[in-house]
A and B are shown apart, each in its own frame.
Chain A
């Protein structure tokens, strides 16, 4: 196994963050120096900041608590894997909670000024000309969260110890922005702010071979500005209607057609069984449609299936 080449080594003190380019094939490592510190994280395409990390698509494809082997995806309509988590010594990460903000601490506790991830991230990306409006929902490394029986989120004590780390390989050039989470009055970081070490390495050929996704788009619907009808970024903040606008919907109109489904008496009896189950609708047609498409999802859908089979 080859040795990695160190490109950058930096310690983020409490109250700070760091925007750092991580090029395709490089590895970002974030390491615990103290006893349990959450790192919030933003990421942008280094060559087009309008492509940025998206908690929603990542949550959809990898679940509520992504860990080693899972990818961080960019927002629709780009929807490309930006980075893959290739190392995670703890395995508790969160993408439910949004970054903490100045508003949150004022609203909940009355602080006029308090360390918060939004402002730290904003100050970090200012180094690259981005504004507080460009901060987006964060990936929260090590944040130890759960969902209770009523569907409500909760935060548990952070488990990481000194020396624990996460490592991510970049699939294209990104501006990675970790920060020391500013939440010292939640259990997010065990009620104490601690420094974090960030390093960037060149991945070894073996690591690149194992982890790197192909460059460029793999699907036609991973879109780029070249696909946009309006690809220029607005430079004014005022919104004004375009009088020449005429909608061109991607698929319109939606037209329905009837399909006659022949069933034997025995097969027809299955409809009654599903009706009794209660999870498939009431009319015969609703039940047949629901069961058929459920089967189709099970057989043909790629990726995690969120279909609930009736009960």
Chain B
């Protein structure tokens, strides 16, 4: 758990909450929905350093298929 300096509030619906419940139940990412989202967010960023390189520009963004 990081020293929390900032809080970002996102909205999720009941189906997304189910998914977060499952992740919490797995116990590997955190014990609350917020901690799980934080952990997934950070892991995504760590897994895609190319997205942060200067000049790396997105197009239309992710296609949520």
Interface residues of A (CB under 8 A from B): 60, 251, 254-268, 270-271, 273-274, 276-281, 284-285, 288-296, 298-299, 305-311
Contact = CB atoms under 8 A, between A and B. Distances in A.
Interface string B32-65: 0111011011111101101110001111111111
A279 B62 contact: yes
Nearest to A280: B61
B13 A278 contact: no
Interface in B1-33: 1-15, 17, 19-20, 23, 33
A282 to B, nearest CB: 11
Contacts of A293: 64
B7 A260 contact: yes
A20 to B, nearest CB: 35
Contact of A262 (B4, B13, B56): B4
A285 B15 CA distance: 18
10 contacts: A251-B14, A255-B13, A268-B8, A270-B52, A277-B57, A285-B11, A289-B12, A291-B40, A293-B64, A307-B62
B56 A288 contact: no
Contacts of A262: 1-2, 4, 6-7, 34-35, 38
- What are the 8 closest A-B residue pairs judged by CB atoms, nearest first? A279-B58, A306-B65, A295-B44, A262-B4, A264-B2, A278-B58, A279-B61, A273-B52
Nearest to B7: A260
Given A262-B2, A262-B4, A280-B62, A256 B13 contact: yes
A271 B9 CA distance: 13
Given A257-B12, A263-B2, A298 B45 contact: no
A265 B59 contact: no
A309 B51 contact: yes
Nearest to A273: B52
B61 A308 contact: yes
A27 B33 CA distance: 50
B3 to A, nearest CB: 6
Contacts of A307: 62-65
B9 A292 contact: no
Contacts of B1: 262
A267 B2 contact: yes
Given A277-B56, A306-B65, A309-B62, A261 B42 contact: no
Given A257-B11, A279-B61, 4 more contacts: A264-B3, A266-B2, A279-B60, A306-B65
Contact of B51 (A257, A260, A310): A310
Contacts of A267: 2, 6, 38, 41-42
Contacts of A284: 8
A126 B3 CA distance: 71
A260 B34 contact: yes
A311 B41 contact: no
